Amino acid sequence: MKKKDVSPEKRRYDKGQIFIKITAGILALLMVAGVAATLLFVLI
């Protein structure tokens, strides 16, 4: 029964976690793309 009381807070926390994970994923992709572009420009 205590779990039912905690679930709304957990849902809000999960939404925040999902947003943070998506943002981190986008930043990681940009970093990888930047490194790849830098290597291409250096090698060419």
**26/4: higher pLDDT:** 26
Residue indicated by tokens 């779990």? 3
Query: What is the greatest pairwise CA distance in the chain?
Result: 64
> What does the chain come to in residues?
44
Q: pLDDT tens digit string along 5-39?
A: 555 556 666 888 899 999 999 999 999 999 999 99
- How far apart (Å, rounded) are the C-alpha atoms in residues 37 and 25? 18
Helices (H) and strands (E) in the chain, counts: 1, 0
Query: Is residue 3 predicted with pLDDT exceeding 80?
Result: no
pLDDT value at position 4? 54
